[in-house]
Amino acid sequence: MDLISGLALGIETAITAEALLFCFLGVTVGMFIGVLPGIGPLAAVAMLLPVTYHLEPMAALIMLAGIFYGAQYGGSTASILLNLPGTSTTAVTAIDGYPMAKQGRAGVALFITTLTSFFGGCFAIVLLMSFAPALGAMALKFSSAEYFSIMLLGLIAAATMSLGNPVKGVVSVVAGLMLAMVGMDTTSGQLRYTFGILELQDGLNLVAMAMGLFGVAEILKNAGTPERDASQLQKVRMRDLVPTRKDLSQCWKPTIRGAGIGSFIGTLPGAGPTLAAFLAYALEKRVARDPSRFGRGAIEGISAPEAANNASTQAAFIPTLALGIPGDAAMAVLLGAMMIHGIQPRPEFFTEHADLFWGLVISFWVGNVMLLVLNIPLIGVWVRILTIPKRILFPAVTFFICVGVYSVNNNPFDVLMVIVFGLIGYLMNAFQYPTAPLLMGFILGPMIEQHFRRALLFSRGDLTTFIDRPISAAFLAAALILFVATLVPSLKARFAKTAAAKKTREGAGAE
Amino acid sequence: MSDFNRNELLAALVVVGLGAGYLIIAIGYPMGTVVRMGAGFFPVALGVLLIGLGAVLAWQSRRAEKTAVELRLRPFVMILGGILAWALLIDRIGFLPATAILVLSCALVERETTWRSALLLTAGLCAFGWLIFIVGLKIPMSALGG
């Protein structure tokens, strides 16, 4: 299917009253969740999952996707105004966004981040439209060996490219793979790690895991701490939003660079928007004529990372839809939600579900425009959301998590698992083990095992099958390069630097 | 030894222990051959890998920065306890009372919360949840009773 007829089909499916309504609902909730510090898009999806059961897969998908990219827009608000990132992906925006707010330029910062977010998102959608079906066509020729190799690449990317100690990232991925083994082995029917518990035979519940690791763990960390001080919040009025000509001329190049980096990182399986934002920021600092301005309210410091994290979120749909391999942890949850709706993303997706794919692409455009329109005139409303106190927010979120998880199987057992994963997530955060790679490992675990076994069955036990096939060999080489690059001291120093930056930010946030 | 970090070492040893426990169970599953791999092959490999990684982390902990781990009992007990109560009671006493217990327990974690505001929030969320989830979305939960 060519681009034009694809777009026509997409417009036909996505420009209906129902689709528009759910797109609106998705991006609004995403934006709302994104603004609130501490609750990420993963928690939002579980809360809205029960709402989608009665919907057509198309509407459900449009809405769930809208939450993800909507949250990217909203995340910058708390970063700029309170120096508290709404989502981890916008943490880097706080470095220059908060100083801008202190200089009385919060309105400009919010306006610029909205514009650059829009640009980054659109940039990546164009890539998605032109690139994803081609990748899908190529992937039709993939056999198990290629699938194994690309998943290995994705896992290594997820482990080593998270911030902090890469060994801990690998531990997290391996733990995820281990948890994926729980339940019945599809090949032999053998029960593994079920400990005689009936509910574990189907494996652990993804939604319960995501809610525990990213919802409850976060609440446990922040509950009972002093209420954040909202009195320092500036009033942001419409006329404060207007950037100067100098602002605009300073930020258009960084925005394009950021969108490029974000799209590239997003397309890699396993590497998410947080990394994209950090890399975009690092690049801007390096190419800037006067790097000392960074950290003191440089407009490049907010425009590049915001373009990058939004581009990355959209580009992450490329491997997710074309290969069924999630671009990052958030995509992993979306993938799980798609499976609940009976959609299995794989290379055939573009021909079998052409209407879904193009409808989704069109909904991305619609959603991004909606966010732009929602964001700028209503900026005062979003700012006020920041003043919702934890004593109202946390009980409500916990309640929605419980109902959302329960409704997946109508089984309270899954809710008990939320407690377990909440504790695990809390401990992992406390000891600085990243939790997102664990989810990646869990999602890819069953697939990577199956493809590994099948590849060796086809090759009659010959391990060279993974390097004899050129595409598979290329993926493995990329994985190896990534792995070695992590061990190279110069890169290590950069990781240490970003970790240090993270620490100072956390320190500032705790004040 | 001045920069020795006991918490980091402890976490690394837990990783080793988890790997070992996982491995012991994995050995009980059929390994199969390389061509026809059994259910035990992958788990054994993962168990060995985790033990190795834990060992690397234990080695690294000599130079790790000190991490302070604070444990605040109140939010743990009240939030996790609230969720536990909800999970155990939802099929026994129904959606409304289970939700009331959950919301109250979570609301009272914050010391700023007054009983009045906690009760208002509880009533609000119960009514809202009942309307959306039971009346609207028809999730099979009984409002009252099992």
Residue with the larger pLDDT of the pair B1 and A50:
A50
Q: Which of B60, B82, B99 is the last residue of a domain?
A: B60
- One-letter amino acid at B69 equals V
Cβ pair B133:A407 closer than 8 A: yes
The answer to whether residue B142 is domain-embedded is no
Please identify which residue in the block is written with the tokens 């991305």. A364
Q: Which of B60, B84, B105 is the last residue of a domain?
A: B60
The answer to whether residue B66 is domain-embedded is no
Q: What's the token pair of residue A368?
A: 């991004």
* Residue B43 Cα, gap to closest chain A Cα (Å): 7
User: Do B40 and B94 fall within a single domain?
Assistant: no
The answer to whether residue B120 is domain-embedded is yes
Full 3-state SS string of A291-345: HHHCCCCCCHHHHHHHHHHHHHHHHCHHHHHHHCCCCCHHHHHHHHHHHHCCCCC
Could you give the ipTM of this predicted complex? 0.92
**CA dist., res. A44 & res. A66, Å (int):** 11
Residues 6+ positions from A323 with CB-CB distance below 8 Å: A135, A136, A139, A142, A147, A150, A269, A345, A346, A347
Return the biggest CA–CA distance within chain A.
70
Averaged pLDDT in 10-residue chunks for chain A of 511 residues: 78 84 90 78 73 82 88 81 72 86 85 89 88 82 88 85 81 94 87 89 88 87 74 67 81 90 84 83 85 85 90 88 80 80 78 84 89 82 81 89 87 94 92 87 88 89 87 89 71 58 51 32
The gap between the terminal CA atoms of chain B, to the nearest Å, is: 59
User: Do B82 and B118 fall within a single domain?
Assistant: yes
Q: What's the token pair of residue A73?
A: 């827009």
Cβ pair A394:B76 closer than 8 A: no
Residues 6+ positions from B46 with CB-CB distance below 8 Å: A174, A177, A178, A181, B22, B26
User: Do B86 and B132 fall within a single domain?
Assistant: yes
- Cα dist from B25 to A178, A182, A183, A269, whole Å: 12, 12, 14, 31
Nearest to A399 by CA among B74, B92, B133, B135: B133
B141 within 8 A of B93, measured Cβ to Cβ: no
* Residue A458 Cα, gap to closest chain B Cα (Å): 8
**pLDDT score, position A233:** 65
User: Do B50 and B89 fall within a single domain?
Assistant: no
Question: Could you tell me how many CB contacts below 8 A there are between chain A and chain B?
Answer: 175
Cβ pair B50:A175 closer than 8 A: yes
pLDDT (average), residues B51-68: 83
pLDDT (average), residues B33-38: 83
A130 within 8 A of A450, measured Cβ to Cβ: no
Domain boundaries, chain A: 3-510
**pLDDT score, position A206:** 85
The answer to whether residue B79 is domain-embedded is yes
| Mutation site, B10, B66, B86, interface A, largest A CB count within 10 A | B86
The answer to whether residue B65 is domain-embedded is no
Residue B123 pLDDT greater than 90, yes or no: yes
User: Do B97 and B128 fall within a single domain?
Assistant: yes
**CA dist., res. B37 & res. A185, Å (int):** 11
Count how many domains chain B has: 2
Please identify which residue in the block is written with the tokens 């994963």. A421
**pLDDT score, position B2:** 42
**pLDDT score, position A38:** 66
- One-letter amino acid at B48 equals V
- Cα dist from A111 to A63, A115, A299, A313, A396, whole Å: 25, 6, 11, 20, 30
Q: Which helix (H) or strand (E) holds A183?
A: strand A183-184
The angle, 0 to 180 degrees and rounded to 10, between the axes of the packed helices A436-458 and B41-60 is: 140
Query: At A183, phi and psi to the nearest 5?
Result: 115, -165
Domain hosting B123: range is 73-136
**pLDDT score, position A392:** 87
A97 within 8 A of A234, measured Cβ to Cβ: no
Nearest to A442 by CA among A169, A174, A149, A68: A174
* Residues of chain B positioned with their CB less than 8 A from the CB of A181: 42-43, 46
| Mutation site, A160, A181, A225, interface B, largest B CB count within 10 A | A181
Nearest-by-CA chain B residue for A445: B42
Full 3-state SS string of B74-137: HHHHHHHHHHHHHHHHHHHHCHHHHHHHHHHHHHCCCCCCCHHHHHHHHHHHHHHHHHHHHHHC
For chain B, how many residues are written? 146
**pLDDT score, position A497:** 60
The answer to whether residue B1 is domain-embedded is no
For chain A, how many residues are written? 511
* Residues of chain A positioned with their CB less than 8 A from the CB of B46: 174, 177-178, 181
User: Do B16 and B49 fall within a single domain?
Assistant: yes
